Chains A and B, each alone.
Chain A
């Protein structure tokens, strides 16, 4: 109970809500770096996943990268990149190691979900689309991607939540973000600050989860929803040649 009241006092102290080491600026740092890392993971893993899923080539590579990526400890990556980044990359201490570790963390879920999503599209449907004369690109963009969107966004959501939660590690290596409160609190044996930092990270991770969950619903094809029968995929299927 004492810890709880200390924690609430920490959260509600006005001086903790201003300045370069206040909650808003730490939150902003955290969100910015996480968004950059998610964005780059997506930019790299999505095209590769689409290619693998569509052509069914390099699956072994994708599975290996996915599994290996999950096994890589972000903390280890940070520690290895840290001294190199100091020497060869500009910017504030700890930014690059954190960014690189988070970027690598984001790749496996996006990559795996993308190619699995594309591969799982019913083979007969793809066959039918080809029979209708769709090119490979059309099959991918008009059929496979829309049907795979729920799984792709689910991968993105996993990546984003993991990245937001793991970005706290950057504080161990001199970077800012919400992890600063946890690491500094630990150094000072200030439990209220540790709890406050952990709480803010948890809230941010939950918001990320919920936000991307809503996006996932919004982007999903509405084949199964009766009330919204005129979804995109159905429109595409309206292409059906006469006689079917």
Chain B
């Protein structure tokens, strides 16, 4: 306890010293501030994937000559959305399906990202926020099985479950039996009825643990959870489009937005896919690499920093 406190004090003093130095140099030499101005990049929530994409946005903007501040520790949308509106942050990566339901709980999210984006755009515009192009990286619900289960029952798509689901146990969030994306939707859209359902958690490690140990056969996880690729599991293709699309897209305060920013951020969106963000999440979540380093490597590999 005492040690922690001492470290905390030390860290605070160190931070203050840096701030003092930064202020001093900033005030002294006006040449260091960018002519293009300063942008503050935030996140929609404090988790790895969001922070990696936010780093991508920050780095392409820096590369183009903007001064960028980072606010990558905002915990959730309840905080990040007001922060964006009030100008505490200027832009952040978002998930279009979830954001749509956040700004309008009555809206109907769909499996088609284009439809969601067109519904979302005017809602955001009314609050002074511009939605840029969404990427093909879709962080949505996925029914996941182990490689062994997939091989045993020849599973690749959710519809493949129809004939065998009666012998299988599904694990997922407790709201699953009531929500259209889960048990009711599986039944009506796919004709899939599981033999048993075990309520555990939403997109969390407990559900993944249960799948790993064989306590459940099918898990409802988030499609970009790094454990899926780390364990070599199979995310069944949602071939009848039950899940809402939750593609990652930049949202920018309209008052700071310009054609160059749009071009830079849209270029990032053009390169991001569900498949290529998975290893990035793993690098940060499982291998504990630095999000900034992981993001930089991705940008370099995709020619976004040249």
- Residues of A contacting B178 in the complex (Cβ-Cβ under 8 angstroms): 188
B159 CB within 8 Å of chain A: no
Within the complex, the shortest CB–CB distance from A106 to chain B, in Å, comes to 24
Interface residues on chain A, number (Cβ under 8 Å): 15
Q: What 0/1 pattern do residues 184 to 201 of A give for CB contact below 8 A with B? A: 101110000000000000
CB <8 Å contact, B210 and A93: yes
- Residues of A contacting B164 in the complex (Cβ-Cβ under 8 angstroms): none
The residue in B199, B202, B213 that gathers the most chain A C-beta atoms within 10 A of its C-beta is B199
- Contact with B215, one of A93, A180, A184, A188 (Cβ below 8 angstroms): A93
Within the complex, the shortest CB–CB distance from A22 to chain B, in Å, comes to 14
- Residues of B contacting A186 in the complex (Cβ-Cβ under 8 angstroms): 174
B216 CB within 8 Å of chain A: yes
CB <8 Å contact, B200 and A173: yes
CB <8 Å contact, A174 and B213: no
The number of residue pairs between A and B whose CB atoms lie closer than 8 Å in the complex comes to 43
Within the complex, the shortest CB–CB distance from B213 to chain A, in Å, comes to 4
A residues 117-159 in Cβ contact with B at 8 Å: none
- Contact with B206, one of A82, A87, A180 (Cβ below 8 angstroms): A82
CB <8 Å contact, A187 and B174: yes
CA distance A183 to B177 in the complex (A): 13
CB <8 Å contact, A174 and B175: no
CB <8 Å contact, A93 and B200: yes
- Residues of A contacting B175 in the complex (Cβ-Cβ under 8 angstroms): 184, 187-188
Within the complex, the shortest CB–CB distance from A86 to chain B, in Å, comes to 4
CB <8 Å contact, A184 and B199: yes
A58 CB within 8 Å of chain B: no
CB <8 Å contact, A82 and B209: yes
CA distance A132 to B178 in the complex (A): 72
The residue in A93, A173, A188 that gathers the most chain B C-beta atoms within 10 A of its C-beta is A93
CB <8 Å contact, B210 and A86: yes
Q: What 0/1 pattern do residues 168 to 183 of B give for CB contact below 8 A with A? A: 0001011100100000
CA distance A105 to B203 in the complex (A): 29
Residue on B with the closest CB to A86? B213
B98 CB within 8 Å of chain A: no
A83 CB within 8 Å of chain B: yes
B198 CB within 8 Å of chain A: yes
Residue on B with the closest CB to A87? B213
- Residues of A contacting B198 in the complex (Cβ-Cβ under 8 angstroms): 93, 174
Q: What 0/1 pattern do residues 49 to 62 of A give for CB contact below 8 A with B? A: 00000000000000
Within the complex, the shortest CB–CB distance from B201 to chain A, in Å, comes to 8
CA distance A82 to B210 in the complex (A): 9
B residues 103-125 in Cβ contact with A at 8 Å: none
Within the complex, the shortest CB–CB distance from B194 to chain A, in Å, comes to 14
Within the complex, the shortest CB–CB distance from B130 to chain A, in Å, comes to 31
17 pairs across A/B with beta carbons < 8 Å? A82-B206, A83-B209, A86-B215, A87-B213, A93-B171, A93-B198, A93-B210, A93-B216, A172-B201, A173-B206, A174-B206, A184-B174, A184-B175, A184-B199, A187-B173, A187-B174, A187-B199
Q: A174-B171, A184-B175, A186-B174 are in contact. List 12 more A-B contacts (CB 8 A).
A: A86-B212, A93-B198, A93-B200, A93-B215, A171-B199, A172-B201, A173-B206, A174-B210, A180-B174, A184-B174, A187-B173, A187-B175
Across the A-B interface, the 9 shortest Cβ-Cβ residue pairs: A86-B213, A187-B174, A187-B175, A174-B200, A184-B174, A83-B209, A87-B213, A93-B215, A188-B175
